[in-house]
Amino acid sequence: VVDPEQEARQYLELLDKEYGRRANVETLAEWGYASNITDETLQYKLNVSAEHAKFQKQQWLETIKYPWHTYKDPDIRRQFQKYSVLGTAALSEEKFDKLEKLVSEMESIYSTAKVCDYNDATKCDLSLEPELTERLAESRDPKELSHIWVEWRHASGEKVRSQFEHYVALSNEAAVLNNFTDASAYWLKDYEAEDFQDQVKALWDQVKPLYQQLHAYVRRRLNEKYGDDVVNRRGPIPAHLLGNMWAQTWNNIFDISVPFPGKQNIDVTEEMVKQGYTPLRMFKLSEEFFVSLNLSAMPETFWKNSILEKPEGRELICHASAWDFYDSKDFRIKQCTAVNMEDLFTAHHEMGHIQYFLQYKDQPFIYKEGANPGFHEAVGDVMALSVSTPKHLRKVGLLDGASTDDPEATINYLYLQGLQKIVFLPFAYVVDLWRWAVFQGEITSDAYNCNWWKLRGQYQGIEPPVDRTEEDFDPGSKYHVIASVPYIRYFVSFIIQFQFHRALCIEAGEYDPQDESKPLHECDIYQSTKAGNLLSKMLQMGSSKPWPDAMEVVTGQRLMDASGLLEYFRPLHKWLEQENAKTSEYIGWDPTDKHCVQTR
């Protein structure tokens, strides 16, 4: 008699080959559409995913016949457990197709949306990338900023409200067919912890005081620049002044709010342009950092097949993404890269996804994922924490002069980092707090927009530049909302990346909690094969073990915790408290009732 688990193993090997082959075909079809939006590439993508869903449903009926709960081998059980979740393929064929069409249509509207120039009403071909992103980053004219902010939402979010409502219903229907209460529970299964939302809330409570100090300081500086009638010093900050279309990171207003002006400019955008940096060179620089840690170089096909600059003469999805074609050979990035510091870090972020693909390429198909989605988002950012140090930027010739241990220069650096890492946390939290509530039916479509602005005000302390109504649909102006990409993964990443950074810096001998002369924010793990080997051990695991096991390999911890982030920003936190006390700054913001009129 054959050992039943042996038979199960053979079945899993069959599934592994078939799923891997089909995933390659499906990903190629998705790439075809994302890199070239036409009716033909859309139709081909829909045909392939419909066929794939039909196969998955048939295979699932076979898979659930196996008594996998009884198996002794934890690995076999884990693989069956993952294969036993059918996903959206559980919908009927026509509902599955409808859902695919809705998301593709929202992505197309978002990716092809155009806006007219503030200063030239005849020039109406401005796209989000690069034109609107650049204007939002560089303009210091509140009227121009408000125009771009409002017109982008008019051209994107407002256009997809009805598709989004239908998408919510079908997503919930699919979740219920998979025995989840709604789509939010289906999304949260990836974190394998029933108290995960409580864990996130506890992390936010730990970081909130630091955020409020930074918010109060930025508000004061914007008030000094734009005056009382534009920025109320005790209220929320108007969202269009913060240098980013969604006010998710504020690094683009570093120059008008820098704590100690006159120091060496740590924003290397100008230097990159001066040195003739190209997108390709930005990605080569990133590859060299990974290789210096004894991690994998990019395969030749990566450079041949990737799209690193916005191509002319066709519509495509410009939002950056990294692609695994599940054949252990073909890996790509699609990014409409601009030559600036922000995109240099996005390049590292995308390369982090590729590195994870390369490290787990020998895992079974079902384990070719991050230990949890936050891990996948953290890899590249951990590298960027080293690359962004003035010490490293000097090593690669993007900053000149000798390293100074000038405490004011340190505050400037930590302030720039805080405008990205601290500021981002409440935004990331709000995006899925809003979506979880929508999926759970707590937020109904007649109040989508006003609840969005209630959360944006409550957690981020920002407000829209002009009144909003339920004719608007501002969440739909953010890529992940219309592309059905969960967002709490970035909140998790921005917490755990500091835990990983701290552990790798200790491994590299670059940081010692007892040694003040080696603070965490100055650590650069460049060329540390010890750090790289430790990280590689975790990355190779993919999702073969629950994520606390993966985290323990690198950090010795089994829980997410904000101590790494708070340790990194401690000097900035102290300075902000002193500075805000000096100007007796009002910490926090008075709630504003205006800004969203429920008309429906």
Please tell me the distance from the alpha carbon of residue 457 to that of residue 466, in angstroms, as a whole number.
14
350 has catalytic annotation: yes
Task: Name the residue among 191, 284, 290 with its Cα closest to residue 536.
Answer: 290
The 3-state DSSP class for residue 469 equals strand
**Closest CB to ligand KAW among 322 and 506?**
322
Please tell me the distance from the alpha carbon of residue 299 to that of residue 295, in angstroms, as a whole number.
12
Minimal distance, residue 93 CB to ligand KAW, in Å: 24
Residue nearest to Zn ion (CB): 377
The residue from 110, 345, 575, 589 that contacts ligand KAW (CB under 6 A) is: 345
Minimal distance, residue 480 CB to ligand KAW, in Å: 6
Please tell me the distance from the alpha carbon of residue 66 to that of residue 76, in angstroms, as a whole number.
11
Residue nearest to ligand KAW (CB): 321
The 3-state DSSP class for residue 115 equals strand
CA dihedral 98, 100, 101, 103 (to 10 degrees): 120
Inter-residue contact 244 to 136 (CB < 8 Å): yes
The 3-state DSSP class for residue 331 equals strand
Minimal distance, residue 531 CB to ligand KAW, in Å: 20
DSSP labels, 294-314: T-PPPPHHHHHH-B-SPPSSS
Which stretch of DSSP H or E encloses residue 477?
A: none
372 binds, among ligand KAW, Zn ion, none (CB under 5 to 8 A by kind): none
474 binds, among ligand KAW, Zn ion, none (CB under 5 to 8 A by kind): none
The residue from 324, 377, 472, 522 that contacts Zn ion (CB under 5 A) is: 377
Minimal distance, residue 4 CB to ligand KAW, in Å: 34
Q: Which of 144, 480, 552, 579 is catalytic?
A: 480
One-letter amino acid at 547 equals: W
Minimal distance, residue 441 CB to ligand KAW, in Å: 25
Minimal distance, residue 377 CB to ligand KAW, in Å: 6
CB contact set of 422 (below 8 Å; sequence gap of 6+): 207, 210, 211, 214, 565, 569
The 3-state DSSP class for residue 494 equals helix
CB contact set of 122 (below 8 Å; sequence gap of 6+): 116
Q: Which of 342, 350, 369, 377 is catalytic?
A: 350
Per-position x/- string for 8-47, each x denoting binding to ligand KAW as judged by CB under 6 A, each - no binding: ----------------------------------------
**Closest CB to Zn ion among 377 and 510?**
377
Minimal distance, residue 59 CB to ligand KAW, in Å: 23
| b/e per residue 265-287 (b: at least 16 CB within 10 A) | ebbbbebbeeeebebeebbebbb
Tell me which stretch binds Zn ion (CB under 5 A): 151-159, 246-254, 304-312, 376-384: 376-384
Number of residues that bind ligand KAW (CB under 6 A): 17
One-letter amino acid at 67 equals: P
Q: Do you find a cis peptide bond into 130, omega within 30 degrees of 0?
A: yes
480 has catalytic annotation: yes
How buried is 564 (Cβ within 10 angstroms: 0-12 exposed, 13-18 middle, 19+ buried)?
A: buried
**Closest CB to Zn ion among 133 and 139?**
133
CA-atom Rg of the chain in angstroms = 24
What is the total residue count of the chain?
A: 600
Minimal distance, residue 393 CB to ligand KAW, in Å: 17
State yes or no: residue 349 binds ligand KAW (CB under 6 A).
Answer: yes
State yes or no: residue 385 binds ligand KAW (CB under 6 A).
Answer: no
CB contact set of 384 (below 8 Å; sequence gap of 6+): 345, 348, 349
Tell me which stretch binds ligand KAW (CB under 6 A): 5-13, 308-316, 318-326, 581-589: 318-326
24 binds, among ligand KAW, Zn ion, none (CB under 5 to 8 A by kind): none
State yes or no: residue 485 binds ligand KAW (CB under 6 A).
Answer: yes
**Closest CB to ligand KAW among 150 and 483?**
483
State yes or no: residue 369 binds Zn ion (CB under 5 A).
Answer: no
The residue from 26, 100, 190, 350 that contacts ligand KAW (CB under 6 A) is: 350
The residue from 376, 392, 501, 502 that contacts ligand KAW (CB under 6 A) is: 376
Task: Name the residue among 91, 86, 96, 49 with its Cα closest to residue 64.
Answer: 86
**Closest CB to Zn ion among 83 and 331?**
331
Minimal distance, residue 294 CB to ligand KAW, in Å: 23
Please tell me the distance from the alpha carbon of residue 128 to that of residue 125, in angstroms, as a whole number.
10
Tell me which stretch binds ligand KAW (CB under 6 A): 56-64, 167-175, 375-383, 391-399: 375-383
Per-position x/- string for 352-371, each x denoting binding to ligand KAW as judged by CB under 6 A, each - no binding: -x------------------
Tokens of 487: 């967002």
Tell me which stretch binds ligand KAW (CB under 6 A): 75-83, 200-208, 348-356, 532-540: 348-356
Per-position x/- string for 248-267, each x denoting binding to ligand KAW as judged by CB under 6 A, each - no binding: xx------------------
Minimal distance, residue 377 CB to Zn ion, in Å: 5
**Closest CB to Zn ion among 26 and 377?**
377
Tell me which stretch binds Zn ion (CB under 5 A): 281-289, 372-380, 411-419, 466-474: 372-380
Inter-residue contact 524 to 386 (CB < 8 Å): yes
- Give just the sign of the alpha carbon dihedral 177, 182, 187, 188: negative
Please tell me the distance from the alpha carbon of residue 468 to that of residue 482, in angstroms, as a whole number.
19
Please tell me the distance from the alpha carbon of residue 36 to that of residue 42, in angstroms, as a whole number.
9
Which positions from 487 through 526 interact with ligand KAW, judged by CB under 6 A? 490
**Closest CB to Zn ion among 379 and 531?**
379
State yes or no: residue 321 binds ligand KAW (CB under 6 A).
Answer: yes
**Closest CB to ligand KAW among 76 and 535?**
535
**Closest CB to Zn ion among 369 and 377?**
377
One-letter amino acid at 459 equals: Y
How are beta strands 321-324 and 331-334 bridged, if at all? antiparallel
Active site residues: 350, 480
Binding site for ligand KAW (CB under 6 A): 248-249, 319-322, 345-346, 349-350, 353, 376-377, 381, 483, 485, 490
Binding site for Zn ion (CB under 5 A): 377
